[in-house]
């Protein structure tokens, strides 16, 4: 029952995430913004998101039950989202985006924190099989939003509103008792985590490996057009990555828990170098297609490795801070920085951003032996 509840939470949230990430820029343009202005609004949102997930989310978890934090965030997200509707000028849309980015992105670490606590305290919770429903939700919303946008791009926000309404309804359902607690940590929980060498290395590896998806997320479609792929087939090619991710999460608990965290990161890093360098060196549609299943390792295994580290080595009171830092630095800030780097490299060649990402990953692999040594020495510690 608890596994079904967690799976549903992942599905509904990632349904909205699959609208927000790929299509929010498209909707902002329907409000009369230029592509450049929409990019500015999105960039400001990324910066604000980094602050809210790393600082505001852990602070809320100290003051309220995690289940109440979910309800508060879901309610405020829906209210602020409605505020986008009446405005059409850059200044007001930017202001609403600031408030929205303070609240809505916290749903990402909220769901991961729920998963970590339930994995620690409840028997029979299979994180991978719960998380794969998030990937299903992402695929469904991406396809559905694409169809809706083809009819009228202004309808994107209404589908987004509907998804957020479902999140609010789900937040009203009674949560497991282990989530009806305050995660009372001492002040400066995030800073305490960063003093831990093992956590810092784990976070740095996550930042590099997740951040290097920036070229793929932002320039993948343009690159496919550059190498001659018809637009009709691009969506199907991109879905292959998410399908591989679903397959990975289905087998992750059964297969990859046999590996230590450092080995998981090493495998993810090697897969990243192979994936991004092959796209650069072979400007061939088939090579790109065959590189897509590696998303299971470059994204899925990186994410699973971080979750495993949190479950094994982070004390319950610091879990919100750990997931807040991950969402802030690995999923937002680093991706934003490497997006700028990719844009600069793209000026030279459509393939250069992928080569750049492979070169960014390579030095990080030297951190894996250090992490292995630290976790072996401290096999029973909790940060």
pLDDT (tens digit per residue) in 34-64: 767 877 787 788 788 888 887 888 888 888 8
pLDDT at residue 311 above 90?
no
Please give the CATH topology (third level) of the domain spanning 192-378: Growth Hormone; Chain: A; (1.20.1250)
Give the pLDDT mean for 298-326: 88
% of the chain at pLDDT higher than 90: 35
The pLDDT tens digits of the residues spanning 334-351 come to 887 888 788 788 888 888
Higher pLDDT, 126 or 271: 271
Higher pLDDT, 45 or 14: 14
Mean pLDDT of the chain: 85
* Helix (DSSP H) and strand (DSSP E) numbers for the chain: 20, 0
% of the chain at pLDDT higher than 70: 92
pLDDT at 157: 92
Angle in degrees, CA 53, 65, 130, rounded to 5: 65
* pLDDT band at 123; cut points 50, 70, 90: low
Instruction: State the CB neighbour count (10 A cutoff) for residue 320.
Output: 30
The pLDDT tens digits of the residues spanning 166-181 come to 999 998 987 777 676 6
Higher pLDDT, 147 or 95: 95
pLDDT at residue 187 above 70?
no
pLDDT at 18: 84
Could you tell me where in the chain the CATH 1.20.1250.20 domains are found? 1-173, 192-378
Least confident of 33-47, 133-147, 180-194: 180-194
The pLDDT tens digits of the residues spanning 260-285 come to 999 999 999 999 999 999 999 988 88
* Residue 360 CA, distance from chain mean position: 19
- CB proximity list for 339: less than 8 A, separation 6 or greater: 214, 217, 218
Backbone CA torsion sign across 39, 280, 264, 363: negative
pLDDT at 205: 96
pLDDT at 270: 96
Residue 149 tokens read as: 């946008």
pLDDT at 380: 45
pLDDT at 57: 84
Angle in degrees, CA 122, 124, 126, rounded to 5: 105
Higher pLDDT, 218 or 167: 167
pLDDT at 109: 87
Cα first-last separation, the chain: 30
- CB proximity list for 369: less than 8 A, separation 6 or greater: 262
Directed axis angle between helix 302-313 and helix 127-151, to 10°?
Answer: 140
Higher pLDDT, 85 or 183: 85
* pLDDT band at 183; cut points 50, 70, 90: low
Quote the pTM value: 0.82
Query: How far is residue 55's CA from residue 49's CA, in Å, rounded to a whole number?
Result: 10
Please give the CATH topology (third level) of the domain spanning 1-173: Growth Hormone; Chain: A; (1.20.1250)
* Residue 282 CA, distance from chain mean position: 28
Burial of 130 per CB tally in 10 Å (0-12, 13-18, 19+)? buried
Strands, DSSP E only, in the chain? Answer: none
Query: How far is residue 342's CA from residue 25's CA, in Å, rounded to a whole number?
Result: 18
pLDDT at residue 215 above 70?
yes
């Amino acid at each position: 029952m608890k596994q079904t509840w967690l799976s549903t939470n992942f599905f509904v949230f990632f349904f909205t995430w699959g609208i927000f990430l790929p299509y929010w820029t498209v909707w902002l343009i329907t409000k009369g913004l230029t592509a450049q202005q929409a990019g500015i609004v999105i960039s400001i949102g990324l910066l604000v998101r980094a602050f809210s997930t790393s600082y505001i989310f852990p602070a809320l978890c100290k003051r309220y039950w995690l289940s109440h934090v979910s309800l508060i965030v879901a309610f405020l997200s829906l209210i602020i989202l409605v505020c986008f509707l009446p405005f059409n000028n850059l200044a007001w849309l930017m202001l609403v985006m600031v408030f929205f980015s303070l609240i809505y992105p916290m749903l990402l670490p909220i769901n991961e924190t729920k998963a970590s606590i339930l994995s620690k305290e409840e028997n029979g919770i299979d994180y991978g099989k719960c998380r794969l429903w998030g990937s299903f939700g992402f695929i469904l919303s991406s396809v559905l939003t694409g169809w809706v946008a083809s009819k009228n791009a202004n309808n994107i926000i209404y589908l987004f509103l509907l998804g957020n309404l479902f999140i609010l309804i789900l937040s009203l359902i009674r949560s497991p008792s282990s989530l009806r607690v305050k995660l009372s940590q001492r002040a400066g929980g995030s800073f305490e985590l960063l003093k831990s060498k093992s956590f810092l290395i784990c976070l740095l590896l996550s930042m590099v490996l997740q951040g290097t998806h920036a070229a793929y997320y932002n320039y993948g479609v343009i690159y496919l057009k550059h190498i001659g792929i018809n637009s009709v087939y691009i969506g199907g090619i991109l879905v292959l990555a998410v399908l591989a991710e679903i397959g990975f999460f289905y087998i992750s608990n059964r297969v990859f828990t046999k590996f230590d965290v450092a080995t998981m990161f090493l495998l993810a890093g090697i897969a990243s170098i192979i994936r991004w360098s092959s796209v650069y060196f072979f400007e061939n549609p088939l090579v790109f297609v065959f590189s897509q299943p590696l998303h299971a390792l470059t994204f899925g295994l990186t994410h699973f490795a971080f979750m495993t580290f949190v479950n094994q080595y982070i004390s319950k009171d610091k879990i919100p801070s750990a997931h807040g830092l991950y969402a802030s630095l690995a999923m937002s800030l680093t991706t934003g920085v490497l997006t700028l780097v990719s844009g600069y490299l793209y000026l030279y060649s459509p393939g250069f951003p992928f080569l750049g990402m492979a070169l960014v990953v390579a030095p990080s692999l030297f951190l894996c032996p250090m992490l292995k040594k630290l976790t072996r020495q401290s096999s029973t510690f909790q940060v």
